[in-house]
Amino acid sequence: MHDSDRQKTILAILGPTASGKSALAFSIAKEINAEIISADSRQIYRELNIGTAKPSQETLRQIKHHFVNELSIGDPFTAGNFAREASARIRNILHSGKNVLIAGGSTLYLEALLNGFADLPPADTEKRQQLAIELETFGSKHLFERLRQLDPLQAATLDHTKTQRLVRSLEIIELSGHTVTEMQKKHIQPLADINVITCGLSLPRPLLYEKINRRTDQMLASGLLQEAVALFTKYYPYCDVITTNALQTVGYQELFAYLDEKTDFKTAITLIKQHTRNYAKRQLTFFKNRLNVNWMDAPENEHELSMLTTSCCRMITGN
């Protein structure tokens, strides 16, 4: 790492969905010549646009956003992949003399980048298919008992009915020759040698819910249903384990249920708003329990955005 990198501070801007973190990051980046590391596990997919509240083309043109529009649905990419690649890019940006901002709300991405991650082997399609056949043939209790014999500590953290984590745990053991418990002890801290200030945007719960509902309506007015129709036609009938994860995104999955005639349109919209509110609550719980966050009042107008931008710039530059 270059000596000049150590003298710089980077700011991580977190917050629940619809809290305004993207707008704040953009405002700061313009002031201090920064590039943005997007910690959003859905905006990385080219095909997911309106439903992920992806930055506009004009915003992307003005400020370099990393991990936006870089993958297609079905491309494998884990939180560990993100943390490794983000760490490398952060160092390259700092070495070039520019500033860096991290902005996003994807808990797995933020956990891996800010708190570290276990160096687990990537998913193996053939091994996973073998385990899926075993699961279907013998049932989840059979696989759970095998995991309990091999890695009792990991088994103790699982519910045998949560088959995705069960299969993944056995996959890791069979691919690496080590238990998940052993692998997790080899913790990688991607940003251990970089000064990161983590700031979170806070706003009253009723106001947050109002913003979520209003943004959902704006997404629908901007063509969210049409985007969902295109995705449904291309992917939905043929989903496998990988693509299903990308498409199980709030805003899309409810409209897929409507397009699959499993619910009506009004109910789908109600569920989008409800599920987004639930997601925001889970994000806030994670931020408060897992990260050391300096909370700030979310700006509610242009004047407050300008004032907060100035304050955040001082945190980074010291001026």
- Give the annotated binding-site residues for substrate: 17-22
Which helix (DSSP H) or strand (DSSP E) does residue 195 occupy?
strand 195-202
Report how far residue 246's alpha carbon sits from residue 234's, in angstroms, rounded to the nearest whole number: 13
**Which residues are CB-neighbours of 194 under 8 A, at least 6 positions away?**
5, 6, 8, 10, 90, 91, 94
- Cβ–Cβ under 8 Å, residues 196 and 114: yes
The sheet carrying 65-66 orders its strands as: 65-66, 34-39, 99-104, 9-14, 195-202, 294-297
Binding residues for ATP: 15-22
Given CA atoms 282, 287, 289, 294 in this order, what sign does their dihedral have? negative
- Among the listed residues 89, 103, 88, 51, the one whose alpha carbon sits nearest the alpha carbon of residue 73: 51
- Cβ–Cβ under 8 Å, residues 168 and 151: no
Residues β-bridged to residue 34: 99
**Which residues are CB-neighbours of 58 under 8 A, at least 6 positions away?**
none
CA distances from 127 to 26, 38, 101, 132, 250 (A): 43, 32, 38, 9, 29
Binding residues: 15-22
Instruction: State the amino acid at position 308 in one-letter form.
Output: L
